[in-house]
């Protein structure tokens, strides 16, 4: 009898104690992923359009996921942007949507940003990298000073070396001297135009300063690239007074020349002229006589 009572008491809850409560089930966090997980756009020329890459945003979990937004982070200078229909969509398990990413660098520098999809407090990213490239032509001396040169002299010649200090090849299609005292500077020779200069490569321009008058002279040598603005090189110099010296003596007159103040001596030729005219008059007279006789 005692054993039975103890068994009943063992299965009855103790008065005043609550039944155990099951812990709440936490919802499964969203599982979004980008395919591919990252992309390198490589070296891209400035001012040459945009390159693009396509990503798939996939729901890799077992529950539906609502996509709140897709963005580039940090946004930076706007060299990256997206085109997508993903924001606002609810992706079922294993369902995807596409994201188009564009890269058009605005500066010659390296870029590292993230493509980011946001779902509630969760974010999912893919790494984006790229480099803005351009050819940058840098003259060895700017301004280039030719010093003082006398007017009327042979002039002074300088060689100006130009280096591609950029991170990608480039070329120039014309080099011209324009603006200012263009008559006092001449581009004699160059091996820059029409040649593709790789990074760190150089070319040379040969310029002469031959002032046409006295005073400070200044002009601009412009190098125009295929896609970049002109590279200006300032040319300066001073024209000084020409060399003064004694007036050269007059050269003796050439043989047979008539000296100023003299008169040609025609007395000896005059009889010959008179005789010739007399013969002409006689011939005309005889011809008239013949005509009358007929």
Model pLDDT for residues 255-279, shown as the tens digit of each residue: 444 444 444 444 444 454 454 445 4
The verdict on domain 137-240 having CATH code 3.30.365.10 is no
pLDDT tens for residues 9-51?
A: 444 555 555 666 667 767 789 999 999 999 999 999 998 889 9
pTM of the model as a whole: 0.65
List the chain domain ranges.
32-133, 137-240
3-state class of 216 per DSSP? strand
| Alpha-carbon gap, residue 12 to 23, rounded angstroms | 24
Determine which of 127-136, 220-229, 279-288 has the lowest per-residue pLDDT on average. 279-288
Ranges assigned E (strand) in the chain:
32-35, 38-45, 51-59, 65-66, 69-73, 80-84, 90-91, 96-103, 110-119, 122-133, 137-139, 144-150, 156-164, 172-180, 185-190, 202-209, 215-225, 231-240
Do residues 199 and 168 touch, judged by C-beta distance below 8 A?
yes
* Residue in 187, 190, 245, 185 with CA at minimum distance from that of residue 216: 185
Write the pLDDT tens digit of every residue in 203-242. Answer: 999 999 999 999 999 999 999 886 666 889 999 999 999 9
| The domains spanning 32-133 and 137-240 adopt the same CATH topology | yes
Q: How high is the pLDDT of residue 228?
A: 64
Share of the chain above pLDDT 70, in %: 73
Question: Residue 224: which of 186, 187, 177, 180 has the closest Cα?
Answer: 177
Rounded average pLDDT over 128-141? 94
More confident of the two residues 70 and 13: 70
Architecture of domain 32-133 in CATH?
Sandwich (2.60)
Closest among 32, 38, 30, 33 to 126, alpha carbons compared: 38
Based on its alpha-carbon atoms, the radius of gyration of the chain, rounded to whole angstroms, reads: 49
Give the DSSP H/E element, type plus range, for residue 9: helix 2-11
Residue 170 DSSP one-character state: B
Of 63, 57, 75, 78, nearest in space to 28 by CA: 63
């Amino acid at each position: 009898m005692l054993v039975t009572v103890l068994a009943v008491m063992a299965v009855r809850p103790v008065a005043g104690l609550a039944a155990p409560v099951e812990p709440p089930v936490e919802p499964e966090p969203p599982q979004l992923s980008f395919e591919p997980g990252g992309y390198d756009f490589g070296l891209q020329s400035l001012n040459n359009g945009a390159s693009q890459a396509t990503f798939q945003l996939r729901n890799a979990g077992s529950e539906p996921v609502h996509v709140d937004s897709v963005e580039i982070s940090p946004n930076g200078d706007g060299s990256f942007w997206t085109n997508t229909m993903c924001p606002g969509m609810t992706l079922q398990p294993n369902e995807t949507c596409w994201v188009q990413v564009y890269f058009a660098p605005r500066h010659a520098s390296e870029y590292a940003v993230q493509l980011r999809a946001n779902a509630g407090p969760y974010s999912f990213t893919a790494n984006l990298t790229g480099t803005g490239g351009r050819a940058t032509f840098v003259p060895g001396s700017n301004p280039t000073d030719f010093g003082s040169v006398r007017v009327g002299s042979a002039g002074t010649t300088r060689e100006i070396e130009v280096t591609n200090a950029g991170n990608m090849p480039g070329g120039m299609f014309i080099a011209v001297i324009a603006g200012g005292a263009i008559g006092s500077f001449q581009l004699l020779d160059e091996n820059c135009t029409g040649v593709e200069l790789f990074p760190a490569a150089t070319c040379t321009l040969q310029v002469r300063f031959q002032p046409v008058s006295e005073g400070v002279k200044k002009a601009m040598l412009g190098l125009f690239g295929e896609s970049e603005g002109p590279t200006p090189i300032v040319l300066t110099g001073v024209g000084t007074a020409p060399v003064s010296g004694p007036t050269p003596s007059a050269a003796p007159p050439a043989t047979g020349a008539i000296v100023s103040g003299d008169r040609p001596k025609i007395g000896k030729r005059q009889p010959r002229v008179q005789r010739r005219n007399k013969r002409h008059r006689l011939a005309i007279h005889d011809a008239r006589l013949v005509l009358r006789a007929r």
